[in-house]
């Protein structure tokens, strides 16, 4: 479990995160959304202990991440957006580094590489950007950590590889794992992320499961405009409109439309979810 209390962070005199209070629980794949510069990557760096909070605290299963104790580091894997093309074969690179994680499985790495249609015997500095990203993704999953932090994991992947990634993530994520994924490519991951966390200028605008979102907001896919819509967008042959759910009828959440509705109606949405 991750507990953040009054968490704040600043680069020099420039605040990035401020007053963040949030609890994340195991067995979930969280989607961390937000515009550029709101602190998504910074929050991941704080969670894995690469940065120290300016104020407030983070507790992860009783550990303070910035202390970077071996018992904590063995249970967390942070995959940044940009990865290095080292001059080694992927299988050797992973075999040398994997044992730093107690639950690492080389066999699982090989299995995920096959599922991602990737060659573990290829030198990493001779891989395409997509092949290199898939290698690091396979390594991250093979470490079997309780906390998995993925920063924009689908960047650099082609359309078939994105589908393979979603399948591998669902198949190989342990039931007790806590996964946090940042993404701008919402449509790539909306079938796997739940709950949704939306950050904005040093605050949490939304932290809710898909069920909670559908309880408070209705996603209308008809072609009839609704004057109470918080957000509307033209789709081929219809529209998607988001408005307060006053009838209790369930609808399928469109995460991209949700993000836009929240950002355009911050106070209205916060009031809806705080009732």
Q: How many CA atoms lie within 13 A of 251 on its CB side?
A: 23
Contact 168, 112 (CB under 8 A): yes
With tokens 């680069």, the residue in question is 11
Contact 261, 231 (CB under 8 A): yes
**How many residues make up the chain in this entry?**
275
Between CA 44 and CA 51 the distance in angstroms is 9
With tokens 């968490």, the residue in question is 7
3-state secondary structure of 101: coil
Produce one character per residue of 103-127: b if its CB has 16 or more CB atoms within 10 Å, e if not: ebbeebbbbbbebbebebebebeeb
Give the pLDDT confidence score for residue 274 in this predicted structure: 81
What is the topology classification, in CATH, of domain 2-205?
Rossmann fold (3.40.50)
> Mean pLDDT for the chain?
93
Question: pTM of the prediction?
Answer: 0.93
CA 82 to chain centre: 15
Between CA 113 and CA 137 the distance in angstroms is 9
Nearest to 206, CA basis, from 151, 260, 166: 260
Nearest to 170, CA basis, from 142, 150, 192: 192
* Domain coordinates in residue numbering, the chain: 2-205, 209-274
With tokens 């790539």, the residue in question is 188
Q: Hey, what are 3's tokens? A: 């507990």
How wide is the angle at C-alpha 26 spanned by C-alphas 162 and 31, nearest 5°?
40
Contact 129, 101 (CB under 8 A): no
pLDDT in tens, 81-110: 999 999 999 999 999 999 999 999 999 999
Contact 41, 185 (CB under 8 A): no
Q: Which residues in the chain land under pLDDT 70?
A: 275
Give the pLDDT confidence score for residue 153 in this predicted structure: 96
Between CA 98 and CA 216 the distance in angstroms is 44
Q: Is the dihedral of CA 24, 28, 33, 37 positive or negative?
A: positive
Residues 6+ apart with CB under 8 A from 128: none
Give the pLDDT confidence score for residue 186 in this predicted structure: 86
pLDDT in tens, 133-170: 999 999 999 999 999 999 999 999 999 999 999 999 99
């Amino acid at each position: 479990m991750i507990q953040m209390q009054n968490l704040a962070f600043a680069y020099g005199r420039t605040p990035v995160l401020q007053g963040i209070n949030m609890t994340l629980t195991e067995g979930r794949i969280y989607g961390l959304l937000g515009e550029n510069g709101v602190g998504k990557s910074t929050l991941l760096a704080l969670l894995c202990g690469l940065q120290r909070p300016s104020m407030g605290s983070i507790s992860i299963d009783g550990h303070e991440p910035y202390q970077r104790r071996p018992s904590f580091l063995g249970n967390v894997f942070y995959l940044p957006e940009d990865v290095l093309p080292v001059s080694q074969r992927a299988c050797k690179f992973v075999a040398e580094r994997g044992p730093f994680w107690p639950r690492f499985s080389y066999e699982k790495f090989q299995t995920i590489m096959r599922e991602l249609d990737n060659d573990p015997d290829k030198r990493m500095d001779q891989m395409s950007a997509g092949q290199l990203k898939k290698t690091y993704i396979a390594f991250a999953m093979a470490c079997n950590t309780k906390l998995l932090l993925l920063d924009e994991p689908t960047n650099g992947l082609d359309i078939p590889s994105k589908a393979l990634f979603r399948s591998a993530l669902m198949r190989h994520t342990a039931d007790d794992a806590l996964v946090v994924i940042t993404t701008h490519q919402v449509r790539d991951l909306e079938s796997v992320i739940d709950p949704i966390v939306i950050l904005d200028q040093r605050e949490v605008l939304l932290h809710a499961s898909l069920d909670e979102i559908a309880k408070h907001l209705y996603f209308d896919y008809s072609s009839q405009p609704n004057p109470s819509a918080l957000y509307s967008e033209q789709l081929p042959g219809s529209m998607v409109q988001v408005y307060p759910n006053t009838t209790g009828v369930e609808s399928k959440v469109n995460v991209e439309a949700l993000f836009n509705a929240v950002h355009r109606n911050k106070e209205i949405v916060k009031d809806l979810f705080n009732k």
